[in-house]
Structure formats: structure tokens, C-alpha cells
Structure 1
Amino acid sequence: MISNEFIFFAGFLIFIIGMLMLDLGVFSKKNHVVSFKEAASWSAVWVVFALAFYVFIRTHGELIHGVDTYEDLVTIQQKYAKELALIPGDLEASIQLYRNNMALEYITGYLVEYALSVDNIFVIILIFTSFGVREKYYKKVLFWGILGALVMRFIFIFAAGSLIMKAGWILYLFGAFLVFTGINMFIGRNKDEAIEPQKHPVVKFASRYFSVYPRYVNDKFFVKKQGKLMLTPLFVVVLIIEFTDLIFAVDSVPAVFAVTTDPYVVFFSNIFAIMGLRSMFFFLANVMHLFHYLKVGLAVLLVFIGGKMLAHSYLKEIGFQTQYSLYIIVGILLISVVSSLLFPQKKKVEESQAGIKHSGHQSSGAVKSKS
């Protein structure tokens, strides 16, 4: 018998992939530079979808796990929300408590993932600039990058969820890693990041094991030369985006597990956040330099979340609730954004602004092939 979880999960994936296909196939038949208006519109669409999903969980969240009886609810509560106090004998009131808790975990996880995804934008800009990708191809590259991210996040999240269920001490490992990552991010907040295309591990791997054409060929990922199928540098850039997302998932996924141990909630919040990231990239790419304290805010955020995971047993004892995490996370992000606007960076920002503008020049030899 097919479970409610499988049906709901399959329906969710069909919806996400359908929206991606609709965007690329109907609204973007031709490669083009995404305008500020288009980026803002799609960013708003995905935020609305994410909030609509929050409302759904708040009103019908029990459908995700197929809860029909009080016994079903107790089973799910013991599995994913042990700290939640149900009301024995009152199914309706207990389900509403469960819905409210699940919705709060989802929106908190979504906010954490969305905030951490902003840091990913810096790296994606750097990748496009370093590899000389034309701006009109950004959308296509990010489209395929997100499809790959869907698969990788699914594997990563449910594998991590399974580990946590079997070995609770994994939370302490995740917590220590997040604290370490946050401290490193703060220490390196002012370092100028750079990517040397020929030295990137993905480029080395692709060049060693595949035939890579030395030049871009419009928006093609593959070309056939002298009877041999070859990768183009644009496809290598897609692989690099995938690799980058995997690296960021190592930080962001454990961070959401600090909010909830329900892998379905983690997955839904992650996917809505990275879908928003794709549109937000075009929306924020040219103004990211304004939020120079955001890196500090994200570092503090990671340390807070990591510390929360390390102290999760103690926090349960003193009644630390999910909404407190939400308030602290929102406060950290607001302080970093407002501080950036109130105390603008004194350095010249021309280089930051030029990152996207100059990336329109193609690189003729970004990747060397090793046939």
C-alpha cells in the first residue's frame, strides 16, 4: 500500500518540476538577460508559494504523514516532536497543536535556509564571472543546477534524517561543525574570494575523465566534433554549481535539523528556499555589495544554530521553544541588514558592481580538454 508520505512527496516534486518547466519552457523560450522586474516577480511568486505552504501545514499538516487517529499522532510525535505535549483523548486539539508546531518549524527552517542561501549568491556570481559565462545564459545554468540540487538535497536530507533517528549523537557532531563553520566565516569575512578556473577540482576532474571542448558554443552543453561527443565549458559550469550547492548543503541542511528532525519539513523548507534563490540571484546580484555586514550576520547565525544543537538536551529541559529560535534568527538577520544600510562600506563598490557586467565576456579557454 502506498503511504500518504509517498503520495504527498511525489505530488510536491511534480509541482516543483512543473513550475520549473513552465518558467523555462513557456516564459523563457529564448535565452535572455533576466530583468529586475522579471526577477522581482518570480522572487515574489516563490515567496508566496512558500507562505501558502506554511498556511497549508497550519491547517492540514497532518496529511503529510497520514495522521487519522490519536495513535497515529502519538507515533509521529514520538518520532519527530517528542517535546510536543499532546492532549490525551482530544484528537482535534492535539492535531492542531501538532499542525502549529510543524508550521513553526517549517517557516523557521525556511528562513534559515533562505538566509544561508544568500551567501551562495556571492559564490555563484564569482563562478559566472571567473568562467566568463554570458549573462543571458545564467537562467539556463541555474535551471539545471536546481534540478540537480533537488536530487542531492533529497539524498542528503533523508540520509541525515535516518542517521539522526538511529544515532542521536550525530546532532552534536552537526552542532560542532556549524560552530566551527560560523567562526571560520567570521574570521574570513573580509577576504577577497577568487576562483582560478584551471585549478578548480571540478574542472580538473572533467578535464581528466572527459573530452571538454575548449570554447563556449552558444548555450550548448555538448558538441560533437570528429565523431566524438564533448562537454562544453557551460556544462562544466553547471557541474561546478552542483558541486557548490553540495558544499553549502553540508552547512545549511544540518542547520535546519537544529529546528526540526522531521526530514520532510527539512526538505520542503530547503526546496522552497533554493527555488527562491534562483530568482533572488537576479534580483540581488547587483546590490549584494550593499549588505556588507550580512556575512557577519550569517556567521553569528551559524554559531547560534550550532550552539543550539550542542545544547539541545539542556534547552528542552528549560522549555526553550521553536519560536524563540525564530525570533533570534530574525533579529540576527535584521541587525546585519539594517547595520549594512546605516553604516555603508567606505570602500569603492565599482568592482562589486562590475562583477556581473563584465561577466558577459566569454572565456575562450576556461577549460582545457584532456582527450
Structure 2
Amino acid sequence: MLVPAWAWIATIGGLLLLLAIDLFIVDRKPHEVTVGEAGRWVAFYVACAVAFGIAIWVFSGGVYAGEYFAGYITEYSLSVDNLFVFLIIMSAFKVPKIHQHKVLLIGILLALVMRGIFIAVGAVAIARFSWVFYLFGAFLIYTAWSLARQGMTHEDEEYHENALTRMARKILPVTNSYHGEKSFVKIDGKRFVTPMFIVMIAIGTADLLFAVDSIPAIFGLTKEPFLVFAANAFALMGLRQLYFLLGGLLTKLVYLSTGLAVILGFIGVKLVLEALHTNSLPFLNDGQPLDVWTPSIAVSLSVIVGVLTITTIASLVKVKRDEKAELESEGAR
């Protein structure tokens, strides 16, 4: 896929324009985001992502458009899992609801920059070392196994500050309470950072850890850095509105971890098969490619959408049954 410089500039410029609009309309005045407002913004960002995919289809063909949509859906579904951790962090830091939107914005901006670096490094590694797919595939299969084994209701999970957040607390003077939406304040002539600044670091670094899983996953669906970046950017752009839209519904997605484990495992196997198909390792089949079947992008997209649909329906059915059983149990007492 040949992507001219103007396409990169236009895409990045368009994303920055969307952020500027979001900042001007939503963050101009701190407020508690309503479900209706969040729903409209989620619909807007999804529409933008779909429009971008249609543009890819028109200018570059259905194959690349399919890769983009598969990557976008995968990244967005993995991002839903991020929201569990975001909820835990917000609760641990007792962030006022009227300021949560800004915290998520800054955290996601940091995540965009860090993921951009990850994508650049990953693209270079793939271009120079085809065997890196073996590593990506094995890592995703291991991640899928770990995710399926541990389960992820997140109900009893506690937040433990990472090394970067602890270091920030040790190096920087931090106030004991929030000062509105300010990240920096001056008290008695001395400059302090507020808990708002620390929680932004926590959100940004938490997403960076998730990128360790998601970046190899999307490279398993498309090798094009432009599509990888665009899919990640659009998924992250709509993430903070999704946080306010879903809210308490997150705890009802009880089978989300199982669905994500299946998707990551599938992509991991796909990467290994593609690595075998283009094998160049001298100790494997004398350095010659193996004639193995590799899933097409249509198959991959069908698996991803199908698994997410089944996971969501099964989760809602289970929660409804549990609630009904609990009501019947209380009525019998």
C-alpha cells in the first residue's frame, strides 16, 4: 500500500482537528458528562472511523479497507477492556466526575504518542526481520491463555501504582487535594503538582501496557503502518466517550475476557501460520516457506465480529438470569 506524504498529513491533521473540536465543545466548561452526550459523541467518532474506512475502500480497494475495519474493531474491543482499569484508577484517585473527561483526554493523548512510537518500531522490525511474527504470535497466544485463565470481572481488583507513578510522587511535590482541574499550582511561592497530574500519568501508562498486547494483535491483521496507526487513533479517540456511555454496563460484560482471549488467540495462530508461510529461519524446513493455510482478512473479520457478538449476547443473558435468580431467591425468604 503506497501512502503519499499528503495522506499522512491529512489524516493526522484531521485527527487533531477532531480533538480541537472536542476540546472546544466538551472541555470548554468542566461538567459531568451525561449518557446522552456521551452517546452522541460515540456515534460521531464511530461515524468518522467508518467514513475513513470507506475512503480507504474507494482509494485503495476492499482488501485494505477490510484490514482497516478488522484492526479498528479489534482495537476498539480491546479498548473496552481498558475501561475497566480506567474505572479502577478513577476510583482509586477519587477523581471528581466533572474532571474525569479532561483526565481521559490527556491520558489518551499520551497514549496516542506512545502508540505511534510502538507502531514505528514494530513496522521497522517487521520490515527487517520476518521471523518477528513468530514472537508476536507466541506472545499473543500466551496472552490469550493468561486472559482466559484469570477471568476479568474486575469487581475485586485494586489499583497498584506503577513504577513511573511512584517515581513521580517521590520526585515531585504533590498536593493532598485537587485544585479544580489544575495540574500545577503555586502555594506560598512554591510550585506543586496536583493529584490531577498524577492520575493523568497513571491513565497514560496504563494504556501503554495495553498497547503491548494490542499493537502485535493489529499487526497480525495488517502489515500497513498507516492502517495500524489510523485504526489505533480512531479507537482511542472514541474511548473516553465510551467510558461515560457504558459506565455501570461494563460489569455486565462478564464474558468479555473470554471473547478477547479467543480473538487474541486466533490472531496469534494467524501470525504463526503467516510466519510459516513466509519462513526464512534456516533451522526450520531448511529456510524454505511452508505451504500452510493462512486466514484471509474476510475470515479474520468474520471471526472477530462473530466472537464479539456471541460474547456480548451471552454476557447479557447470563447477567439477566443471575438477576432473576437473585430476585427469586429473595422472594423465597
TM range (shorter): 0.7 to 0.9
Structure 2 CA distance for aligned equivalents of residues 195 and 134 of structure 1: 17
1:326 alignment partner, one of 285, 290, 301: 301
Structure 2 CA distance for aligned equivalents of residues 289 and 4 of structure 1: 41
Q: Secondary structure at the match of 1:311?
A: helix
Q: What amino acid maps onto 2:14 in structure 1?
A: F
Structure 2 CA distance for aligned equivalents of residues 160 and 210 of structure 1: 33
1:116 alignment partner, one of 67, 78, 82: 78
Summarize the alignment of residues 26-175 of structure 1 with structure 2, pairs less than 5 Å apart.
26-61=25-60, 99-175=61-137
Summarize the alignment of residues 266-305 of structure 1 with structure 2, pairs less than 5 Å apart.
266-305=228-267
- Give the Å deviation of 1:201: 2.5
Report how many residues are paired: 307
Q: Match for residue 20 of structure 1?
A: 19
2:218 alignment partner, one of 245, 256, 281: 256
CA contact (8 A) 1:124 1:241 kept: yes
Structure 1 CA distance for aligned equivalents of residues 65 and 201 of structure 2: 34
- Give the Å deviation of 1:226: 3.1
Structure 2 CA distance for aligned equivalents of residues 339 and 36 of structure 1: 24
- When the two chains are superposed, the root-mean-square deviation of aligned CA atoms in Å is 1.8
- Give the Å deviation of 1:345: 6.7
Runs of 5+ in structure 2 lacking a partner? 278-290, 324-333
- Give the Å deviation of 1:264: 0.7
- Give the Å deviation of 1:39: 0.5
CA contact (8 A) 2:147 2:261 kept: yes
- Give the Å deviation of 1:243: 0.2
- Give the Å deviation of 1:294: 1.1
CA contact (8 A) 1:214 1:233 kept: yes
CA contact (8 A) 1:292 1:345 kept: no
Structure 1 CA distance for aligned equivalents of residues 121 and 294 of structure 2: 29
User: After the TM superposition, which of the residue ranges 25-34 and 233-242 deviates more from structure 2?
Assistant: 25-34
1:242 alignment partner, one of 197, 204, 224: 204
Structure 1 CA distance for aligned equivalents of residues 151 and 163 of structure 2: 23
Structure 1 CA distance for aligned equivalents of residues 180 and 294 of structure 2: 58
- Give the Å deviation of 1:321: 1.1
Structure 1 CA distance for aligned equivalents of residues 23 and 45 of structure 2: 15
CA contact (8 A) 2:273 2:293 kept: no
2:176 corresponds to 1:214: yes
Structure 2 CA distance for aligned equivalents of residues 204 and 333 of structure 1: 36
- Give the Å deviation of 1:186: 1.2
* Same amino acid, percent of matched pairs: 37
How high is the TM-score relative to the length of structure 2?
0.87
Q: Secondary structure at the match of 1:32?
A: coil
Structure 2 CA distance for aligned equivalents of residues 175 and 186 of structure 1: 17
- CA offset digits 1:137-160 (Å, max 9, x no partner): 111111111221221111110110
CA pair 181-318 structure 1, distance change in 2 beyond 3 A: closer
1:195 alignment partner, one of 145, 154, 159: 159
Structure 1 CA distance for aligned equivalents of residues 257 and 300 of structure 2: 19
User: After the TM superposition, which of the residue ranges 134-143 and 208-217 deviates more from structure 2?
Assistant: 208-217
User: After the TM superposition, which of the residue ranges 237-246 and 307-316 deviates more from structure 2?
Assistant: 307-316
